[in-house]
Structure 1
């Protein structure tokens, strides 16, 4: 045996025994650091813990992922759990500990005052990146700050009246899909998703999918929409699997992802080519793609950012419209009051942005829908270092709670929006009038909060307000096909009605 080989074996002889010792020393160091943080910040044991059958390893999580049946009303079940265990509790989830909270004070800390102590969970980042690429919803730190800095001007410079004119064109296409015969039942939900896809692609890239247009079959566009939904569904499934997602392979979703990437790449090329001419109408301010293309380093980065913005601009608005009209169709007194306000201000003509701003009851209805059925009902952050939540520890829950590095804080907007102390009596009822003079602060977060607050919030509300106003202007009555049906969530990237929005409409 050569001296070199002998020296290599000698090194291994000494190094291998050191590995477990190093692991033990690192564990001890971590525990000492956690103890220091806990003692310095006055942390106490959690007031409440979710019951588990395996309190040591937390194998309940694996059992639930593999064998448990999906909960029909998952969001309601989380709300009832908070009512039983308190506003903040911990749960052992396999190899880590998760903290669940609907306390607005804790949520404010995670999203704002303690922002630097938390980051997007690695499991969410991995799930989204695998299906939609690396965009603003998967970035942390400097990369996220840079992406947001690039996107902010693209939304800030938008002309409201140009957006309203664009919305009207796509709304007219929507009307072409709704039967004119009174009493005909139709599902509005897929129409809202097509409408927001057509508008989002037009607004973002200056080149619409035109799925609502009956002039052609739009086979490629419809395939893209279906593939996009497949990717969205797969992302949710992977996030629910947690650390087990690495063992899950979905070939159909992978094929759908490839087609989505190819479609967006072609779409971007066509959109950029159309903006190279002299016609200024093809290169208006209502084109986010042009702004992004000027600063993007490569085509992949451009594609990924567009896909991520599409999630925010298309899914959330379609879900909000579906959730709102699901309720309005079952509450004719609210629909009629809303219609009276809109027609008293705008008459039968499309409303201007200034007129929309004066429609107080319309704003209340949208706010109440976002409160009762938030389109992003739950979210999470991962502790980037040993830190704390200000509440949830001690017997009364008013002491700080230690959050170890790598552990998750799952915050629940759906449950927080049902706090009777903030929103008054009957918080599970749809009552737009409760917003008269209401200022809930951090108790109401339909668009997130802190530095990561939705960059397109004003744009999304303008789109929603306009489309709601046009719907109630156009249709004198709206009745649900089944008045007794309850709202049940379809839990996806953005949450909407599981069974659609089946209504009969009477044109004015």
Structure 2
């Protein structure tokens, strides 16, 4: 009897609490909707879902798409028969998809302080134990400090230097098989870029070109990226996955980076002791870890910052260059046009200025970014109630209200294939479309606003240099894989079978 009374009392208490909570939520939503209407906002279209409460239909579909390597077609299909801006329910949260350039501008620049990444990346612990604070997990002052630690990326003498690229390119070119022999160019590009990037970040190359076994760290980094994407997208159900494989990859990457951190701290300590004793010292190192270690004397914090630079940077750049070659191998007319432009430069050094002035080469880079962007989506959490300019109302052209906690996803892979922006041939690889074209917010492969990628100029220089070196030597490039591009998602897409080609001098 007493137990039944207690149950009844608690049930009544829970019912009252639930009712109060529901009333509070409804009242809050109504106030926010009223605020939005007062600012001239209109609601955005809602995509039909068979689970409108939790949105598990979208969750399950996305998991299947990622595991089945058809995420990009699925994402494009999600946008089909919908306005350019619409909302869905994802794990019970409002998520807005948009492919409007003006919304990208507002989210990343005009209303920059209203949108961030920390709530969905750091607060969820999805990136742990791989990394905590870093350039791609924090907002505000922490982000400003992470940006400060990457200052060497902004040095003009660094990103304009092709001398630092040349010796590694020479080594890679010497490893390319003979005329007509099939090989996977992507694996060679990965090893080349490992040497290039470890030299810049850690002050000495890994020598992966000379010792392919050393490139095994790449596979650990790829697993970290795959797991990182899953954990970021499905942070509310991380408990449902077995992460043993991911933790193993994280440990391998940490072991690799820890060695460099400890060596650097030791070198700094020895240098400071010599200076204190008025002894001569070597010229100061110019690599990234040296600069970061001088400004951050905590091994765990430094490792976190480095992890969020080294791992994503290594993957995105090598995949971008690989994607360039994948497209060119299927468009011999584009390769010939590129080659003639490079040959017109003669034997003069391939300097930063020379590469920037090769207009068709720059068009090839841009067209590759457009069709196979590394940043498929640009996602932010709304930190303060805000307004985005385009997507509300029946015509989806009016402003709409974004509530604190809402997630906004700019779908670049849809924006970059929009016929209204790029013409009816938007699905085709045509570098010429960028010839003389001034692009604004409809094309920002490295992002825009304060959070744009700090490595933008460096990446473009490295990619342009490698393509120009290949074009100087090889008159023909031939695809040896008839399959269409099948995107395996890490941070961005990579072709499932790599870049199977043959080259002819």
Please give the TM-score of this superposition, normalised by the length of structure 2: 0.88
CA-CA distance at 1:274 after TM superposition: 6.1
Question: Could you say which residue in structure 2 is the equivalent of 1:343?
Answer: 343
Q: Secondary structure at the match of 1:166?
A: coil
The alpha carbon displacement at 1:170 in A equals 1.1
Q: 1:124 to 1:246 in 2, by over 3 A?
A: farther
- C-alpha separation between the residues in 2 aligned to 1:355 and 1:408? 42
Q: What secondary structure sits across from 2:245 in the alignment?
A: helix
Partner SS for 2:475: strand
Q: How many Å apart are 1:183 and its aligned residue?
A: 0.9
Q: Does 1:261 align with 2:263?
A: no
- Kept in 2, the 8 Å contact 1:205–1:289? The answer is yes
Q: Contact 1:339–1:473 (CA<8 Å) still a contact in 2?
A: yes
Runs of 5+ unmatched residues, structure 1: 1-11
Deviation for aligned residue 1:175: 2.2
Which sits farther off after the overlay, 439-448 or 241-250? 241-250
Within 1, Cα distance between the matches of 2:156 and 2:317?
Answer: 18
Counterparts of 1:67 and 1:466 in 2: how far apart (Å)?
Answer: 38
* Cα displacement (A) at 1:26: 4.3
2:191 to 189, 194, 202: 194
Report the counterpart of residue 396 of structure 2 in structure 1.
Answer: 397
Change beyond 3 A, Cα 1:485–1:406: same
What residue number does 1:175 align with?
173
Provide Cα deviations, 1:383-440, integer angstroms capped at 9, x if missing partner. Answer: 1133232222111112222222212111111111112333234011111111121112
Contact 1:350–1:470 at 8 Å: present in 2 too? no
1:198–1:210: 8 Å Cα contact kept in structure 2?
yes
The aligned counterpart of 1:474 is: 473
Conserved? CA contact 2:387–2:401, under 8 Å: yes
Deviation at 1:65, TM superposition (A): 6.1
d(CA) in 1 for partners of 2:336, 2:90:
48
Q: Which residue of 2 aligns with 1:435?
A: 434
> Kindly tell me: are residues 124 and 445 of structure 1, through their superposed partners in 2, closer, same or farther at Cα, counting changes over 3 Å?
same
* 1:279-306 deviation per Cα after TM superposition (whole angstroms, max 9, x unaligned): 857x443x11121112114122222222
**Aligned counterpart, 2:76:** 79
In the TM superposition, what whole-angstrom CA distance separates every residue of 1:4-48 from its partner, at most 9, and x where no partner exists? xxxxxxxx9xx99996576356425522441342222222222x2
Structure 1: how far apart are the matches of 2:146 and 2:164? 26
Which deviates further from its counterpart, 132-141 or 333-342?
A: 132-141
**Alignment length, in residue pairs?**
484
Are the equivalent residues in 2 in contact too, given 1:150–1:295 (CA < 8 A)? yes
Number of the residue aligned with 1:382? 381
SS at match of 2:453: coil
Q: Residue 111 of structure 1 contacts residue 449 of structure 1 at CA under 8 Å; is this kept in 2?
A: yes
Deviation at 1:480, TM superposition (A): 0.7
Write out aligned runs for 1:76-115 (5 A). 76-115=73-112
Q: Alignment partner of 1:503: what SS?
A: strand
CA RMSD of aligned residues (A): 2.7
The Cα shift of 1:177 comes to 2.7
Task: Tell me if structure 2 keeps the 8 A contact 1:479–1:504.
Answer: yes
Q: Kindly tell me: are residues 70 and 261 of structure 1, through their superposed partners in 2, closer, same or farther at Cα, counting changes over 3 Å?
A: closer
Q: Which residue of 2 aligns with 1:39?
A: 37
CA-CA distance at 1:68 after TM superposition? 7.2
- Partners of 2:446 and 2:130 lie apart in 1 by 23
1:230 corresponds to 2:230: no
Residues 43-95 of structure 1 deviation map (CA, whole Å, 9 limit, x = unaligned): 2222x222211223323245436777845432233234434102111112231
1: CA distance between counterparts of 2:413 and 2:20? Answer: 44
| Residues 77, 251 of structure 1: alpha-carbon distance in 2 compared, 3 angstrom cutoff | closer
